[in-house]
Structure 1
Amino acid sequence: MLETEGTFFTGAEGNRLAADIMDGGGHPVIFLHGGGQTRRAWDATAEAVARQGMRAVLVDQRGHGESDWVESGNYGFSHYGADAACLIRQVEERFHARPSLVGASLGGLAALTAESREGPLLETLILVDITPRLDPRGVDKIQGFMADRMEEGFATLEEAAEAISAYLPNRAPRRSLDGLRKNLRRDADGRYRWHWDPAFIKGEANINSGSEELMQELMAGLPALHLPVLLVRGMRSELVQEEHAREFVSLAPGASYVDVGGAGHMVAGDRNDVFAAEILKFLARDQAA
């Protein structure tokens, strides 16, 4: 793996956002993970991007990983969008170029909210298995898994791995628990818990607060989204159906989409080889234009 520089950015409430930069010296590309993940979800993809001469900026979103748990408890999509807008501006100021952004699920909606409300901010946008139109059954499944052991946690890393395997039965078993360890914190009672603030799910201003209104707003704004957008959908996605992808590209003038076979909602984790190849192709085409 390339050497990484640890750094911090500042969110919309003055909250600290932990980040790593894999510096290939060129165009900045921000990576925003999905809900319940951390920036470590992007390590392999970001390294591939950096090796192609770009700057990969991997960020823990508010309440996740090493970033601040906000005292306000504000974890709605609008709050993540406000953070994304602040982050994008800071990256542009630091590297003197309007960045591209790769956003999975929560990260993609945060970027889309920022661009729709405060843009133009981005050079290009890659959405990973997310559109403003979602299958509610898939949303319930994902949030149900996140909430299931949120407070109880796990006695061992092996127990956590078993829970993930039961949730993602089509994914190959883990060869090592090192990657999983980065997504968990070990509390004073010795148990492992997910590396995110439980208020994300159960707080008054949780991820579902105001979500329906925001999704309607984002759908209505798609015809004005003129920057190049690539939607990467997992063919087995429980969240984004094919009709959702087709609707999205029909409404957003600069949008296109690709399906990744053998992948579910966690596209980068399921088929990172294919995923990385697709986003590198898209970013290279944009830089050559």
Structure 2
Amino acid sequence: MESIQTHPSAFLAADGLTLAVDVRNPSGKPTLLFAHGFGQTRGAWNAAATTMAARGCRCVSFDSRGHGESTRASGGDYHMQQFVDDLRALAHAQPEPAILVGASMGGLLGLVVAGELRPSPFRALVLVDITPRWETAGVERILAFMQAHPDGFASYAEAADQIAAYLPQRRERKSEQQLRPLLREGADGRLRWHWDPALLAGDLISECERYQPRLLEAAAKVEVPVLLLSGERSDVVSQHTVEEFLALVPHAQHAQVPGATHMLAGDANDAFTAAIAGFIGSLEPAFRPRDEAKQPA
């Protein structure tokens, strides 16, 4: 497979915060805009974005505010509308309407933008294991992991142990190189997760719950093509929430990825990217994924 280079850049949000951005295959088409979930970074898309870039797409991924290498809000002031505004601005900054690939929080933000803006800045939506109404137990499990180690870790190996326990379905253990973008070393020498602790300490989580009526209303107004991908073993999306979503968005397609959990892209990247490629082909018959493209090592 040809080498796919990553082009790091930065995007200035309306309130002055800087978002870290990666672009792969800048001259490719169509544009895929990848939006990660709460507590993740743009690195969650590395395998998928590299694969799709090799298949001819222009792939853009970014760290949400307070995550990864993006700026943290002054005073820990985070609100859902800020995340919506960031995604809307990034979408409008693309050279063409992008296909949004949004996981969890990223997918919810995409629903708001696509449902409330006319014309939509998106060509289509790919929602990765998320629906406007979710299973509370699954979300609570994610938050419990994020809140479990406020004092951080003494070593990368200790952090890898915790990830392995949280994601037992993954056969590959995280290496130090893979963990470095996910951890920050503090003045005390301890390694802490990349996200701003204020994301968990403030009102953002309960605000997200209060967003559900807005999410449901926005979903019902989405006019662009939609593909919902859910994990067979997900504890965030269920048959009930999928059925409710498909009733709200009757033109949406749904596919379940066998064996995958809520961390769908990381669990089954080959199946994930194959589903996206097939969806793009249904939108743009001229799109011909390069058969020689394979999942990066």
TM class by shorter chain equals over 0.9
Query: What's the % identity of the aligned pairs?
Result: 41
**In structure 2, do the counterparts of structure 1 residues 15 and 50 end up closer, same or farther at CA, with 3 Å as the change threshold?**
same
**Contact 1:2-1:47 at 8 Å conserved across structures:** yes
Aligned to 1:57: 60
Deviation at 1:152, TM superposition (A): 0.6
Distance 1:74 1:227 in 2: 32
SS of the aligned residue for 1:19 comes to strand
Structure 1 stretches of 5 or more lacking a match? none
Distance 1:163 1:266 in 2: 16
Residue 259 of structure 2, aligned match among 262, 273, 278 = 262
Q: Is residue 123 of structure 1 aligned with residue 123 of structure 2?
A: yes
Aligned to 1:252: 249
Aligned to 1:84: 87
Aligned to 1:181: 180
Aligned to 1:167: 166
Indicate the structure whose relative CO is greater, using CA pairs within 8 Å and at least 6 residues apart: 2
Larger mean CA deviation between 15-24 and 67-76 belongs to: 67-76
SS of the aligned residue for 1:56 comes to strand
Deviation at 1:201, TM superposition (A): 0.6
Larger mean CA deviation between 48-57 and 11-20 belongs to: 11-20
Distance 1:228 1:137 in 2: 29
Q: Is residue 46 of structure 1 aligned with residue 49 of structure 2?
A: yes
Aligned to 2:198: 199
TM-score scaled to structure 1, two decimals?
A: 0.92
Q: Is residue 240 of structure 1 aligned with residue 242 of structure 2?
A: no
Deviation at 1:209, TM superposition (A): 3.7
**Contact 1:60-1:66 at 8 Å conserved across structures:** yes
1:163-189, Cα deviation, whole Å (9 max, x unpaired):
111112222131633212221112222
Distance 2:284 2:11 in 1: 25
Aligned to 2:138: 138
Q: For residue 171 of structure 1, what is the amino acid of its counterpart?
A: R
SS of the aligned residue for 2:16 comes to coil
Q: For residue 77 of structure 1, what is the amino acid of its counterpart?
A: M
**In structure 2, do the counterparts of structure 1 residues 125 and 172 end up closer, same or farther at CA, with 3 Å as the change threshold?**
same
Aligned to 1:281: 278
Distance 1:28 1:261 in 2: 27
Distance 1:112 1:72 in 2: 28
Aligned to 1:9: 11
Deviation at 1:11, TM superposition (A): 2.3
Deviation at 1:211, TM superposition (A): 2.0
**Contact 2:160-2:175 at 8 Å conserved across structures:** no
4+ residue stretches of structure 1 with deviation over 4 A?
none
SS of the aligned residue for 1:182 comes to helix
Distance 2:35 2:174 in 1: 25
Deviation at 1:72, TM superposition (A): 5.2
Distance 1:255 1:12 in 2: 32
**In structure 2, do the counterparts of structure 1 residues 11 and 132 end up closer, same or farther at CA, with 3 Å as the change threshold?**
same
Alignment of 1:208-227 (within 5 A): 208-227=205-224
Distance 1:131 1:63 in 2: 23
Structure 2 stretches of 5 or more lacking a match? 287-297
Q: Is residue 33 of structure 1 aligned with residue 32 of structure 2?
A: no
Deviation at 1:75, TM superposition (A): 2.9
Query: Aligned-pair RMSD on alpha carbons?
Result: 1.6
Q: For residue 98 of structure 1, what is the amino acid of its counterpart?
A: P
